[in-house]
Amino acid sequence: MISIQCKDVRKCFINGKNKTEALRSVNLEILDKKLTLLVGPSGSGKTTLLSIIETILTPDEGDLFLLGQHVNKMNELEKAYFRNKNIGVVFQALHLIPTLTVLENVILPLIIKGEEENNAKKKGASLLEQLYIKEKMNLPHTQLSIGEQQRAAIARALINDPKIILCDEPTSALDQENGHAIMAILRDLASSDNRTVFVITHDHRIFPFADHIININDGIVEKKNE
């Protein structure tokens, strides 16, 4: 099933006299249960496209459909609700909070939503167990390896059980072994849990993990390799 669809999406940034066409008529269809990579050079529009799909950036033109819903028709509050319920994001800079333990970081989105703390902790611990870092859950993330921190960030992205997982360069700071471990987890999430996993990357070592690879160049999505 198509879970992410862009129709003729355009985005331009204007700073004084400078105009950058970050996205020029992007048409995309991304399937659920699949891991799709978005690959392209620096400045080609990857993060811009991811931010639009994340619903935090509004396109100048074109239509975005997520899980069959027409995002253009949502107001800001509806978008925020949709995002919180359906989208999990993993960034290259992990944005983990150093004064909290790993478990506290992971359950933060649930606490914000008003979930009871003990329930939230049970959910968080079970997720960390699946990602093989439960024994580290009461430490601050600064005492974890980079690969373990990346898994903690994935746990936090998953805590609300989102259908769409977006990742911006999730393996670029990792060695081959940890990078492969993260990609194996992401691929597993896509295929076994009925989710859509969409990953921006420069890292050719992880191309073999993809079901589909989409190339973007100078704001234009070029081709889709099946």
Ligand X SMILES: Nc1ncnc2c1ncn2[C@@H]1O[C@H](COP(=O)(O)OP(=O)(O)OP(=O)(O)O)[C@@H](O)[C@H]1O
- The contact set with Mg ion (CB under 5 A) reads 46-47
Residue numbers at the binding site for ligand X (CB under 6 A): 13, 15, 20, 22, 40, 42-48
Nearer to ligand X, 43 or 117 (CB): 43
- Smallest gap from Cβ 14 to ligand X, in A, equals 8
The residue of the chain with the least Cβ separation from Mg ion equals 47
Nearer to Mg ion, 47 or 196 (CB): 47
Nearer to ligand X, 43 or 119 (CB): 43
Nearer to Mg ion, 11 or 136 (CB): 11
As a whole number of angstroms, the longest Cα–Cα distance in the chain is 54
**Tokens 């699946």 correspond to what residue?**
130
**Tokens 């975005």 correspond to what residue?**
64
- Distance, in Å, from the CA atom of 4 to the CA atom of 190, rounded to the nearest integer, reads 14
CB 133 within 8 A of CB 144: yes
- Smallest gap from Cβ 49 to Mg ion, in A, equals 9
Task: List the single partner that 124 binds among ligand X, Mg ion, none, CB under 5 to 8 Å by kind.
Answer: none
Q: What are phi and psi of 189, to 5 degrees?
A: -60, -40
- Distance, in Å, from the CA atom of 226 to the CA atom of 224, rounded to the nearest integer, reads 6
Inter-CA distances, 194 with 64, 167, 177, 178, Å: 21, 17, 26, 24
Task: List the single partner that 44 binds among Mg ion, ligand X, none, CB under 5 to 8 Å by kind.
Answer: ligand X
Task: List the single partner that 20 binds among Mg ion, ligand X, none, CB under 5 to 8 Å by kind.
Answer: ligand X
